[in-house]
């Protein structure tokens, strides 16, 4: 069963949703549904989604100043 809800959002929250939608390419409705599911299940966003997002040397020991002597 699908229901439709109408809610009023403040400018700051709507701006955040629009920016997140543009950044991720996800529709605003999907973002809201996922946030509600996370809230219902008591889940927090995992930090593992950021794994591999940082560029640079794969081994920090290759950077100057980090080698052991």
Domain spans of the chain?
1-45
Q: CATH says 1-45 is which class?
A: mainly alpha
Helices (H), the chain: 11-24, 28-41
Per-residue pLDDT of the chain (69 residues; tens, 9 = 90+): 588 888 898 999 999 999 999 999 999 999 999 888 888 877 665 665 666 666 666 665 665 665 565
Alpha-carbon distance 57 to 12, whole Å? 38
């Amino acid at each position: 069963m699908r229901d439709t809800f109408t809610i009023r959002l403040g400018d700051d929250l709507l701006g955040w949703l629009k920016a997140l939608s543009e950044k991720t390419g996800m529709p605003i409705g999907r973002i809201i549904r996922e946030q509600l599911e996370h809230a219902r299940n008591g889940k927090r966003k995992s930090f593992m989604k950021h794994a591999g997002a940082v560029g640079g040397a794969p081994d920090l020991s290759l950077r100057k100043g980090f080698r052991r002597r």
